[in-house]
């Protein structure tokens, strides 16, 4: 019997029109969409359809992606109920997983993601930096280059451990550019600056972590109904009381995606469905576990793929 994990997309996967097909194909979801809208401080539909610009601004990107993933998941559950053994989200996708796992109610989830998005946007303005993808270099070499270059006010770390030979670095602009140059001279195939607004998942996001920690004090978390694997450690949560710390650290620490997928593989997970716009996570999983069965669900057009995968 197949053992299933569901993955939720992160920032960078956004695209105009995302999520709208779900309410067009499944009109019963409109009330769910309206419930989500009630808890957002901007017009979600206008952002999604491009009537109002801003989808690529962190303040709007994160809540919009969360809403999109929730809509696609709810739609899929109405068409073909899933019973995943694990949930995992990439960066902000972790909040989709938190809600669907049962840790957070919808109101708290939407409140937290807006706090997180606004705090990260503010941190990006007060502590500007950049990110870059490094392709074709070993993890140990890239880690040593980041350590070699980093010093106070000149910091760079590996922000995303995506898959073998594909990582993302993040930090102060000059430090990131220095590591890009060193990475290329040490054998990296490519070093590509990313079009993002800040140095996410690096110490430059510490202010965002502090803002988030204040709000987390007032949030009531529940025990999960479905196990999760967390970005910060690449493993499940040891104790429910650790969850606020995990979410604070997640903002300013590396995303351990490769280790997370390897952990799932060790739990005999052999089937993965990515929920959300695009198929980035599905591609990463295939590079980590070439024999895994993986697809992306971006609306009812992908239903036949899901059925085939789970058959």
Catalogue the active-site residues. Answer: 91, 201
Alpha-helical (H) ranges within the chain are 20-25, 30-38, 44-48, 58-79, 93-101, 106-126, 139-149, 173-185, 206-216, 243-252, 257-266, 280-288, 303-310
Q: Can you say whether the dihedral through the CA atoms of 86, 88, 94, 96 is positive or negative? A: negative
State the residue for tokens 């946007």.
121
State the residue for tokens 């890239």.
142
Rounded to whole angstroms, the Cα distance separating 268 from 262 reads 10
The DSSP code for 208 is: H
């Amino acid at each position: 019997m197949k053992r299933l994990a569901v993955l939720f997309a992160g920032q960078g996967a956004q695209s105009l029109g995302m999520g709208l097909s779900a309410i067009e194909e499944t009109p019963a979801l409109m009330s769910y969409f309206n419930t989500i809208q009630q808890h957002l401080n901007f017009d979600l539909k206008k952002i999604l359809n491009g009537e109002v610009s801003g989808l690529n601004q962190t303040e709007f990107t994160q809540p919009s992606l969360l809403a999109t993933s929730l809509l696609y998941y709810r739609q899929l559950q109405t068409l073909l109920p899933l019973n995943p053994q694990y949930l995992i989200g990439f960066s902000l996708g972790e909040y989709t997983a938190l809600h669907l796992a049962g840790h957070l109610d919808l109101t708290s989830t939407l409140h937290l993601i807006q706090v997180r998005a606004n705090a990260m946007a503010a941190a990006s303005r007060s502590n500007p930096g950049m990110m870059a993808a490094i392709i074709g270099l070993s993890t140990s070499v890239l880690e040593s280059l980041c350590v070699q270059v980093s010093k106070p006010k000149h910091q760079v770390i590996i922000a995303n451990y995506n898959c073998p030979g594909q990582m993302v670095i993040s930090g102060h602009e000059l430090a990131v550019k220095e590591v890009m140059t060193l990475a290329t001279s040490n054998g990296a195939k490519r070093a590509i600056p990313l079009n993002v607004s800040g140095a996410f998942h690096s110490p430059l996001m510490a202010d965002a972590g502090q803002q988030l920690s204040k709000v987390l004090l007032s949030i009531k978390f529940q025990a999960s109904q479905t196990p999760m694997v967390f970005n910060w450690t690449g493993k499940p949560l040891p104790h429910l009381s650790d969850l606020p710390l995990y979410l604070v650290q997640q903002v300013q620490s590396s995303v351990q995606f490769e280790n997370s997928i390897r952990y799932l593989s060790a739990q005999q997970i052999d089937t993965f469905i990515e929920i959300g716009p695009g198929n980035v996570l599905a591609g990463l999983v295939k590079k980590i576990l070439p024999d895994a069965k993986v697809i992306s669900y971006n609306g009812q057009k992908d239903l036949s793929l899901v059925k085939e995968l789970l058959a």
